[in-house]
Structure 1
Amino acid sequence: MRLTAITAAFALTATAAFAADKTLDIGVSDALTGGGAVYGLPQANAVNLAAKEINASGGIKVGDDTYMLKVIAYDDKANPTEASNAVRKLIDRDGVKYILGFCCSGATGAVASFIENEDAVMLVGNAAERSITTREIPNLTRTRPPADYTGAAAGTFVAEKGHKRVAVLGALDVGFYASYVDAFEKELNKAGGEIVSREAFGLKDRDMSPQLTKIRGQDPDAILVVGYVEPAAFIYRQAVELGIDVPRYGFTSGSEEQFLRVATSEQMEGVWDLRPTELTLLSASENGKAYHANYSAEFGIAPSPSSPYAYDQTYALKDAIEAAGTVEDTQAVAVALRELSVPDEVVMQYLPVDEKMFDVNGQAYTSNGAFQWQSGNWVFIQDLPSDAAAYSAFLSTID
């Protein structure tokens, strides 16, 4: 009887071992420190949150195997060299085949320049430089739309507000901010408006009073601010301190907490942010509200509006791996990503092209939205005009 019990116990142990879950390492390359960390760190957190949820729900099913996700993250500091080194480490040392994150365009572009030659799949989040998805890289997808896709919609919105003389203050040496402004200007010009001043700042600048004083002398009827959260917050604050009393529009993203580290809510009152329709509780779906609550509970801080780009990447990767039926064949997974419908779990509001989340360029599209700061919160006001299919066709014509 004792022998029978031991035999049964051994059989159960063997069965459990045979059915044991496997581990799939996924990598994150993102800005975890430095100026880009306002975007990169929340993205890395979002990947970890999604991986934890996927594991708790039973992992990724591939044939008879079940894979639990393990996240390996490296800090690329939003620097092209650091990003290249981080991804090389993930691929060459850690054996990672699926790499997520990528908040900032310079670092992302550096990795995109060589990823096609690797046995890996690259999933880009917040980085908005248009050229990332014009290179026809089959193993790269991006969840955030390019900056000029949003800039054109923003220009139409500002023109409809009746503004004719707009001053721009931005990180204009950064390609995706410059392309946003160019697309904005084109639509503003169509309505009879013009950009009367283009003033630049560096992403590490904090005193914008010289540029703002010059802008004040141009007598604009609105200001457009494009740049990272912290310098933008200084601009909004200093514009008030200098008595510049015109509407302020921006392309920054960023949570309330991030802006309030620099400016008071009163100094932010009335500021517009014209950006993809990212996470803001008043515009969020049920998925968005659950994500906000779960992220806040997990990390002790509210998520940044753009962080779900990385969260959504993770669920897209899960569905693509299951559809491809393999974790080893990255080419098959890359193909499956391009055929993917929008996953049920995503947070952002995607506009499918040909009923697919990613178009032929590997690019996803969200709706664009006008958000305004009201009494301490970003409030979703309205959708901006967005034609994902038309922009996708345009993107396909660019070399």
Structure 2
Amino acid sequence: MKRTISTLAGAAVAALIAAQPVLAEETLAIGVSDALTGGAAVYGLPQANAVKLAASEINAAGGISVGGETYMLEVIAYDDKGNPTEATNAVRKLIDRDGVKYILGFCCSGATGAVASFIEYEDAVMLVGNAAERSITTREIPNLTRTRPPADYTGAAAGAFVAAKGHKRVAVLGALDVGFYASYVDAFEKELNKAGGEIVTREAFALKDRDMTPQLTKIRGLEADALLVVGYVEPAAFIYRQSVELGLDLPRYGFTSGSEEQFLRVATSEQMEGVWDLRPTELTLLSATENGIAYHENYAAAYGISPSPSSPYAYDQTYALKDALEAAGTVEDTAAVARALRELAVPDEVVMQYLPIDGKMFDRNGQAYTSNGAFQWRDGNWTFVQDLPSDPVAYSEFLSTLD
């Protein structure tokens, strides 16, 4: 990938972010609706930070040139707590009170789905990040795009990977009342079954649960040969810790997308050793492109912590919006900008490794696709091990048949 992001010194990046909004001849406000507090903040807050970082970089590079005018970006962020009602209120405030036409972020599927249910009728464009529920991009909403692929697109690749490891009896422990986690497991199971394997139990936990010993004790008695954990970072970390404490000697696979710092708040590195995370090929330094390394450095300099692996979905949204605004030649005509997004090539500045459809970042559903990867915890770090098989063209065709 062509390198277009300059690595800024820490003080410079921090100063740029502190200076938001930047005074300029023209200012374009963009909104963020995301979980800035609560359990989902492990995904939402890094996304909001990523948008601010990208906006700062764009402003420092001269802003966005549209229709003979140069616009500097001002970021207005509201906390939706990952809650559908709060997300609806946040977006209504951005549109009705703040006059914002471009809204980014959206880490959680429930909150995102609530906004997606009405955004088509608004003079606005919605750019979805980490939320992985498949239905978000099956509704044929012309003014909505999403950078993260749906959960079942990744779940199928994960199932094939685990089957290739020779596992025949897999126990699942997850937040199975959450739709996108359930769809990941369904797709995982289908591929596992093709190879002669089976899921021997599906044990559930609530996102606020922290004691998983009853479920793990039951799994220990089922003679499973592998454990699949799907859920938010903190409860997943408790599962990994408690599995070791209970002496559950099974290969552990997960779907979480958390950073090292986030897991180490709960579990030790020794308790995490050997855990796999089977997810889209998101940011880790060992899997990152040159852009990803620069993003990691700039984010850490600005916020004093490493970025979460999934945070670049929102960073990439911002650069996609920039290119679409410039291609459309307008900041007022949101329909023209939405059309420009659907015709957009993958921007040079993005961090994630996108797989274009017909040369375009987003398919006709407004969905982008990344490669999928197998990451393993080794000596205190998530280590990229290999790509997982992914067929974005076939999945895009499948997605187009749903409603």
**Taking structure 2 as the reference length, what is the TM-score of the superposition?**
0.94
Amino acid at match of 2:203: E
C-alpha distance in 2 between matches for 1:151 and 1:303: 24
The structure 2 residue matched to 1:213, chosen from 203, 208, 217, is 217
- Local SS of the residue matching 2:286: helix
Give the Cα–Cα distance (whole angstroms) in 2 for the partners of residues 178 and 286 of structure 1. Answer: 34
Report how many residues are paired: 381
Q: What's the offset of the Cα at 1:45?
A: 0.1
**1:8 corresponds to which residue?**
none
Distance in 2, Cα, partners of 1:214 & 1:117: 49
Identify unmatched segments of 5+ residues in structure 2: 1-23
Partner of 2:64: 60
- TM superposition shift of 1:219: 1.1
Inter-partner Cα distance in structure 2 for 1:260 and 1:166: 26
The aligned residue for residue 17 of structure 2 is: none
The amino acid across from 2:355 in the alignment is L
The one of 34, 37, 61 equivalent to 1:33 is 37
In 2: Cα distance, 1:238 partner to 1:76 partner: 31
Aligned to 2:107: 103
Amino acid at match of 1:336: A
What CA RMSD, in Å, does the superposition of the two structures yield over aligned residues?
A: 0.8
3-state SS of the aligned residue for 1:257?
Answer: helix
Q: 2:18 is matched with which residue?
A: none
Q: How does 1:1-399 map to 2 (within 5 A)?
A: 21-399=25-403
One-letter amino acid of the structure 2 residue matched with residue 382 of structure 1: Q
Letter in 1 for 2:178: V
Q: How far 1:322 moved relative to its partner? A: 0.1
Q: Could you report, residue by residue, the CA deviation over 1:216-267 in whole angstroms, capped at 9, with x for unpaired residues?
A: 1111000000000000000000000000001000000010000000000000
Give the AA of the match of 1:254. G
In the alignment, residue 326 of structure 1 is paired with which amino acid? T
Query: 1 CA distance for matches of 2:49 and 2:80?
Result: 15
Q: Flag structure 1 segments of 5+ consecutive residues without an equivalent.
A: 1-19
Q: How many angstroms apart in 2 are the aligned matches of 1:172 and 1:246?
A: 21
Secondary structure of the residue aligned to 2:90 is helix
SS at match of 2:149: coil
In 2, the alpha carbon distance for the partners of 1:267 and 1:214 equals 20
Deviations 1:123-157 (A, max 9, x none): 00000000000000000000000000000000000
- 1:76, distance to aligned residue in structure 2 (A): 0.1
TM-score of the superposed pair, with normalisation by structure 1: 0.95
Once residues 250 and 119 of structure 1 are traced to their aligned partners in structure 2, the CA distance between those partners, rounded to angstroms, is 39
CA distance in 2, matches of 1:236, 1:332: 48
Within 1, Cα distance between the matches of 2:328 and 2:240? 48
Percent identity, aligned pairs only?
87
Look up the match of 1:15.
Answer: none
Mapped to 2, the partners of 1:332 and 1:58 lie a distance apart of: 23
Q: What's the CA shift for 1:21?
A: 2.4
Query: The residue matched to 1:281 in structure 2 has which SS?
Result: coil
- Give the letter aligned to residue 362 of structure 1: G
Between the aligned partners of 1:211 and 1:217, the Cα distance in structure 2 is 10
Q: C-alpha displacement at 1:214, in angstroms?
A: 0.5
Distance 2:45 2:303 in 1: 11
CA distance in 1, matches of 2:186, 2:25: 51
How far the C-alpha of 1:63 sits from its partner, in A, is: 2.1
- Structure 2 Cα separation of the partners of residues 181 and 254 of structure 1: 18
CA deviation after TM superposition for structure 1 residue 307, in Å: 0.1
Residue type of the partner of 2:162? V
- The list of structure 1 runs, each at least 4 consecutive aligned residues, that deviate by more than 3 angstroms after superposition, is none
Structure 1 position 64, deviation (Å):
1.4
1:307-326: per-residue Cα shift (whole Å, max 9, x none)?
00000000000000000000
Q: Quick one: which amino acid aligns to residue 283 of structure 2?
A: L
Q: Deviations over 1:149-176 (max 9, x none)?
A: 0000000000000000000000000000
